[in-house]
A and B are shown apart, each in its own frame.
Chain A
């Protein structure tokens, strides 16, 4: 299995632009998670899905952030409009059980820079 695939690996955009981050989970994993990593706050859970349905989006910082999972093999995290404080590494993870241990797999992340 290729693991969790995220694209792009790096994104540089200007303030005010729309940014879309993409994630392909491991086949058969029913849970998908979006995280943001910053130096100050570490890894923060933004939102997670179970069977393509958003279960908890309490970590989404503002209405500028939205996430969708149109099918079991694809999810997007969109920021519109983007701001410099959104600069971070965004990780997607998937799991078959929803628990954080064995089988909980992170992608390699998307480093977002908003200038």
Chain B
């Protein structure tokens, strides 16, 4: 049973445009959400996170939005760059078990010239 779902396996976006990656979760105990980026033959690297007390968090070109009522979060990348081409994983954790991250299956983003 996937508690964190990324329903789009892949996404292609032109350079300079906005990339929007989506993530849904089912466990209402989750209160901390993270995005990771993964290049081929490398491990994932932390990108940005958001606590459930917020609905938005920004870091440069990356913004994460959280809609708790819909159990949905999204990652916006503006503007998209070719170096952003990677697999993006959404992850979640719950208070008391913050070290237990539950990941989605990932979305492969390709930024084209």
Q: A100-B93, A101-B34 are in contact. Are A43 and B103 (CB under 8 A)?
A: yes
A12 within 8 A of B: no
The contact of B43 among A50, A56, A100, A106, by CB within 8 Å, is A106
- Name the segment of A34-42, A60-68, A76-84 touching the other chain: A34-42
B11 within 8 A of A: no
Contact between B44 and A99, CB atoms less than 8 A apart: no
Contact between A99 and B103, CB atoms less than 8 A apart: no
Q: Which residues of B contact A44 (CB under 8 A)?
A: 103
Which of B6, B34, B46, B106: most chain A Cβ within 10 A? B46
A-B contact count (CB 8 A): 69
Contact between A48 and B43, CB atoms less than 8 A apart: no
Contact between B43 and A39, CB atoms less than 8 A apart: no
Determine how close the nearest CB of chain A comes to the CB of B102; give it in whole angstroms. 7
**In whole angstroms, what is the CA distance A50 to B97 when docked?**
13
25 pairs, A vs B, C-beta closer than 8 Å: A33-B99, A41-B105, A42-B2, A42-B106, A43-B89, A43-B91, A44-B103, A45-B101, A45-B103, A48-B99, A56-B99, A91-B43, A91-B44, A95-B99, A98-B98, A99-B98, A100-B32, A100-B34, A100-B91, A100-B93, A101-B49, A105-B43, A106-B43, A107-B43, A108-B41
Chain A contacts to B: CB under 8 angstroms:
4, 31, 33, 35, 39-45, 48, 50, 55-56, 91, 93, 95, 98-102, 104-109
Chain B contacts to A: CB under 8 angstroms:
2, 4, 6, 32, 34, 41-46, 49, 89, 91, 93, 97-106
